[in-house]
Structure 1
Amino acid sequence: MQYYIDIGRKKRNTAGAKAPRDISEICRQRGMHRFRMPMLPTECCKLYQKLWILIVGTYYWWKLEHMVSEGDIVIYQHPMYGNRVAERYIPHIQKRKKVQFIAVIHDLESLRKGIDGVISQNQKTSNLADNILLKYFDVVICHNDYMKQYLISQGFEKEKLVSLNIFDYLNGCGKTQPSKGKDFSIAIAGNLAPGKCAYIYDIFGVDGTKNPGLRVHLYGSNYAEINQCENMIYHGSFSPEDLPEHLEGAFGLVWDGTSAETCIGNTGEYLKYNNPHKTSLYLSSGIPVIVWSKAAIADFVIRNGVGIAVDSLYDVNDRISEISEADYASMCENVDCIGVKLRSGGYFMAALDESLRILRESDYSHHLKS
């Protein structure tokens, strides 16, 4: 029997819960059994949350222990609340019930070190979650080979790590944007708060002379109409499921940090290891991407011919002008091919198949030794 742990989540116009929801949906489509854990009462004080996790969290892990049987497999999406409870129960269930656990990493907070102006890092909790709890899992699905190498440097066993390559994006609109000719326009989706994404408000430079003629289509919350110019068009905030229907632009931009010159700060440096979910949003919607040249996802983009990589946002205008209409059309064709896999969960299913193969082989090896 195969199970996936799923947490109830409120629907909001933010992308934070989209990737976990998609993983759960793919698991459901694969015929796995859902083990639902309740939503953490984040509106309550920290003390109440700790007591709630101790009582409610412990009860649900106890419930899982008594539900599973020898040979079962459980999918766990990381990070999740209740690290201390999970750290106690997972090795106990593995030993007592002979159950195997697969972790799917969404974020490594010990590596990201929080989000400037949005999330402060709890170093002790992050270390427990990423460097202690994760090591109990029989297989860990990480973002890409850069994150894999980082985990190996932290003491993880290479044989237990599987690269996802890119997150899937189950596209709610069920279709991609119609093919368009190349033009000087980009889409930026996400949290538009200046404290988190100051680069957005500096694309045209302090004096407004950078990227002449570029049109920027903005989607998301917390947009600040500072340094407003006619080439920046704000379209509003949409749910992750509805957003693909509204996207405009010849390219989708994948960038982070406080600078348009390069990606800096916690979230900027994190791009060297993670798979930004907005890459999947754009590609699943039929839009090629522009990414930072030093980002881990740049390898995937260049290898599959689905976009371009730049050192600085001030290079965007020149790089777009270098692309011929024929090259852009070819790029869009590549995007359509990748989009089919993204919208159907192809990348996670491939990583999951590889994880199950590793478990079968390790189980077979164990039987031979015994």
Structure 2
Amino acid sequence: MKWVTQTVGRVPRADYRKAQEDFAHFAKAAKFRRLAIFRFNDAQESDEELQRRIWGIIAGLKHGDLLIHQYPTWNSKRYEDMFQREASYKGVTMGAYIQQLPALSNERFEADFPLEILFRYDFLIAHTEKMREKLQELGYEKLIFVSSFADYVQDYPIRPKKFLRQVVYFGDIGMKPKFLSWSNTTMLKVLGPNHSELSKSDSVKFGANPNLSVVSTYLEGGFGFLERDSRKTDDYAAMSFHDKLSLFLSAGMPVIVYDDFAYAEFIVENKLGFAISQISEIDEKIAQIDEENYAEFLKNVSYFGELMRTGFFTGKLLQQLEGLDFFDLVEGRPQLGF
């Protein structure tokens, strides 16, 4: 039997919750069963109470099963530790699909999300080759797969895109001076809370403030902008998957990324958008694009977005797992045998 975990409930961010939902959705199409993990505060529970809770979640696991755990659950360190141990006692082979790596994204998370727990898994699935190399550098010696891209479920029809000389940002710019003082003449359209009273630029336009599930219906044209996350280090940005990349590409929207982002080279080579080293370059880049150029971007993104919406990359990843002999029983415990 094949299983995949999914954290449900109050996940810290909507895009983190969406990423887990979508991976579980496409894994289900590949005959994986879902294990729902609720996010909650376990501070008032004893070890015995927490253990019984986890036993209920993993009751269906059997010796020889394959479990892909979407890491992290966003529960406590104690929960992550106990979940891994209790599931492994049942004789399953466990891999961790890394949705986020808090310990590497910001040093203040290292204590709550120690790599020691993650490194106990039988194999890992990383975002990029750079992330794989980093994990190996940090001491992980077992197999690490690399997921090409994160697929994305779109619940609404994809709108045809117009040739518009604008950049679209989805999020809150209230604490982002570079956006509030946008110096480009290219319009910045913000889909998020309206901070027009703080904006110092005539080139900033506030649109709707949609929730994540309907953002694609507000994307008319132009380029989606993937900004740096101030809560994460630049090194992490260079090895991880940007949360909004799948959102824009699956919605048929070309993107603008920083040239040190993990997927920047791929995006430029496949004409899914363009890369910049700083925001001031946007005007020059946009000025070089005409309707014919934009149509080529749309053609490429349309093809790529269809792959993401149908789970192509998840299916490709899971096929790699299907083709491997995971179980070489040694002393009654399943060992990876490649």
TM range (shorter): 0.7 to 0.9
Unaligned runs of 5+ in 2: none
1:134 aligns to 2:118 (yes or no): yes
Change in CA separation of 1:57 and 1:365 when aligned onto 2, cut-off 3 Å: closer
CA distance in 1, matches of 2:336, 2:69: 28
Change in CA separation of 1:12 and 1:152 when aligned onto 2, cut-off 3 Å: closer
Match of 1:167 in 2: 150
CA contact (8 A) 2:181 2:201 kept: no
Change in CA separation of 1:38 and 1:64 when aligned onto 2, cut-off 3 Å: closer
RMSD: 2.8
Change in CA separation of 1:341 and 1:368 when aligned onto 2, cut-off 3 Å: closer
Deviations 1:180-219 (A, max 9, x none): 22x320100124341xx44322431xxxxxx22x111111
Shift of 1:142: 1.1
1:177 aligns to 2:162 (yes or no): no
CA contact (8 A) 2:182 2:201 kept: no
1:5-20 matches, within 5 Å, as 5-10=5-10, 14-20=14-20
Match of 2:98 in 1: 105
TM-score, length of structure 1 as denominator length? 0.81
The percentage of counterpart residues that share the same residue type is 21
Shift of 1:59: 2.0
Shift of 1:354: 1.9
Match of 1:148 in 2: 132
Shift of 1:365: 9.7
1:120-269 matches, within 5 Å, as 121-126=108-113, 128=114, 131-157=115-141, 160-173=143-156, 175-181=157-163, 183-194=164-175, 197-204=176-183, 211-212=184-185, 214-221=186-193, 223=195, 225-257=197-229, 266-269=232-235
Letter in 2 for 1:137: Y
1:73 aligns to 2:66 (yes or no): yes
CA distance in 1, matches of 2:211, 2:80: 31
Match of 1:279 in 2: 245
CA contact (8 A) 1:15 1:239 kept: no
CA contact (8 A) 1:162 1:355 kept: no
Q: How many residues align?
A: 332
CA distance in 2, matches of 1:220, 1:17: 19
1:350-369 matches, within 5 Å, as 350-357=316-323, 360-363=324-327
Between Structure 1 and Structure 2, the one with more helix by share is 1
Unaligned runs of 5+ in 1: 42-48, 115-120, 205-210, 259-264
